[in-house]
Amino acid sequence: MEGLLFNVNNGYIEGIVRGYRNSLLTTPAYNNLTQCETIDDLKLQLGPAYGDFLASLPPNPSTSALASKTTDKLISEFRYVRANATGALAQFMDYVTYGYMIDNVALLITGTLHERDTRELLERCHPLGWFETMPVLCVATNVEELYNSVLIETPLAPYFKGSLSHQDLDELNIEIVRNTLYKNYLEDFYKFVNTHSEMAGTPTAEVMSNILEFEADRRAINITLNSFGTELTKADRNKLYPTFGKLYPEGTLMLSRADDVEGVRLAVDGVHDYKTFFDAVSLGGSGGPGNMGGGSTDGKSLEDMFYQKEMEISKDAFTRQFTYAIVYAWVKLREQEIRNITWIAECIAQNQKDRIGNFISVF
């Protein structure tokens, strides 16, 4: 059924995105990149993929400049796709940007809390998370004003409503605010893809559910691991877990009770993928999970494996046709590519070649 009418509205977009996907760097291309001696070489090697965007960089650019230029390409492509999208796809793409908006809003809230000039923060915001009313956020001078008159106008308002009051913004750690928003966002996104009339029961719902469930689980596990040894209580922690995903509800309940890495391992035991991650990490065993590579060069951390898994899921999304999920998958793949390029550039710039192979390439 979905194949019948999908291309009427979305065929062009799908074609474009698949084209973009083909221009992603492949493993041989990455191998070439790792052989580079200087950033200039790297720039040259990136020429075919990023030519126009890197052209304006000065010789031997900084890695952050490189990263921002490569992000620029993603942004301009995303904007092009967004401009051509209609109907449900447009809405879907807006949902994709909400994640970045949360980061931007968190940044602005931090600025307002500390009474900084938030205007200069606008430049630091992620362009994908840009929304029209964002500069208005800078008008607010205190948190209450920000909450009552401004945040309500943003697309994120539903995520604030009901779970955060303006006192919370003041008192809670900004990270908790951010993660609460993100939890609400993930749940809303999940609901959106599964209930929207054009998406429910289509491959989009299927693939996106898979991706979002993974994302939810990853966040739950990460929050648990990262909260050990901080003032975050177990009850508060429990509030940050999204209420869906493969781990929900038994796994998240156990996660909320976990006191150490071992507890997390027990909690995720029911899900095969995560169990293997934990087993591999404990076998590699240098410095515990989350410790990217630690001392050994090929030891993968949990974080790495999650990224790897995310990339594989994203890659698999392209095996399905007539789905919006490829847009999401493409954004994620491109983001990982930017991270990879930045990583390789850092390794080259800092002359730490032994860890240069620590990027994730799925093509």
HSE-up of residue 253 (Cα within 13 Å, Cβ side): 4
Site residues (CB under 8 A) for another protein, limited to 36-75:
63, 67
Angle, vertex CA 242, rays to CA 234 and CA 195, nearest 5: 160
User: Which is nearer to another protein, 103 or 316 (by Cβ)?
Assistant: 103
Contacts (CB under 8 A) with another protein, residues 314-353? 335, 339, 342-343, 346-347, 350, 352
Instruction: Single out the segment in contact with another protein by CB under 8 A; choices: 148-156, 178-186, 201-209, 314-322.
Output: 178-186
103 is a site residue for another protein (CB under 8 A)? yes
Q: Using CB under 8 A, pick the residue from 2, 41, 72, 175 that binds another protein.
A: 175
Amino acid at 196: H
The smaller minimum CB distance to another protein, of residues 10 and 342, is found at 342
What tokens appear for 104 in the block?
Answer: 């931007």
Q: Does 182 bind another protein (CB under 8 A)?
A: yes
Identity of the residue, 21 or 178, whose beta carbon is nearer to another protein in the bound complex? 178
Radius of gyration of the chain (CA): 21
CB 2 within 8 A of CB 322: yes
Total of residues contacting another protein (CB under 8 A): 47
- Closest distance to another protein from the beta carbon of 347 (Å): 8
336/258 Cα distance (integer angstroms): 30
> Of the candidates 338, 317, 343, 346, which has an alpha carbon nearest to the alpha carbon of residue 24?
338
H helix intervals, the chain: 2-22, 27-34, 39-55, 63-84, 87-113, 134-137, 143-145, 157-160, 166-171, 174-195, 203-227, 234-240, 250-257, 261-267, 272-284, 302-317, 325-349
Q: What is the Cα–Cα distance from 40 to 61, expressed in whole angstroms?
A: 8
In this complex, which beta carbon is closest to another protein, that of residue 85 or of residue 225? Answer: 225
Q: What crossing angle do the helices spanning 63-84 and 2-22 adopt, rounded to 10°?
A: 160
What's the CA gap between 313 and 336, in Å, rounded? 13
Nearer to another protein, 148 or 173 (CB): 173
Q: Which of 303, 309, 311, 322 binds another protein (CB under 8 A)?
A: 303
Say whether residue 127 binds another protein (CB under 8 A).
no
Given the structure tokens 């008159």, which residue do they identify?
Answer: 149
Task: Say whether residue 174 binds another protein (CB under 8 A).
Answer: yes
Q: How far is CA 109 from CA 21, 167, 226, in A?
A: 35, 13, 22
Q: Which amino acid is at 101?
A: M
How far from each other are the two terminal CA atoms of the chain, in whole angstroms?
Answer: 31
d(CA 229, CA 182): 22
Distance of alpha carbon 321 from alpha carbon 190, whole angstroms = 20
> Which residue among 32, 292, 315, 363 contacts another protein (CB under 8 A)?
292
> Shortest gap between Cβ of 260 and another protein (angstroms)?
14
Q: Whose Cβ is closer to another protein: residue 59's or residue 114's?
A: 114
User: Does residue 246 touch another protein according to CB under 8 A?
Assistant: no
Q: State in angstroms the smallest separation of the CB of 90 from another protein.
A: 25
What is the nearest approach in angstroms of another protein to the Cβ of residue 179? Answer: 6
Rule CB under 8 A: say whether 255 interacts with another protein.
Answer: no
Residue 264 beta carbon to another protein: minimum distance, rounded to whole angstroms: 13
C-beta closer to another protein: residue 43 or 183: 183
Q: Which is nearer to another protein, 203 or 245 (CB)?
A: 245
The one segment of 89-97, 160-168, 170-178, 320-328 that binds another protein by CB under 8 A = 170-178
Pattern 183-222, another protein, x by CB under 8 A? -----------------------------------xx--x
Binding residues for another protein (CB under 8 A) = 63, 67, 103, 106-107, 110-111, 113-114, 116, 121, 124, 126, 173-176, 178-179, 182, 218-219, 222-223, 225-227, 229-232, 240, 288-292, 303, 335, 339, 342-343, 346-347, 350, 352, 355
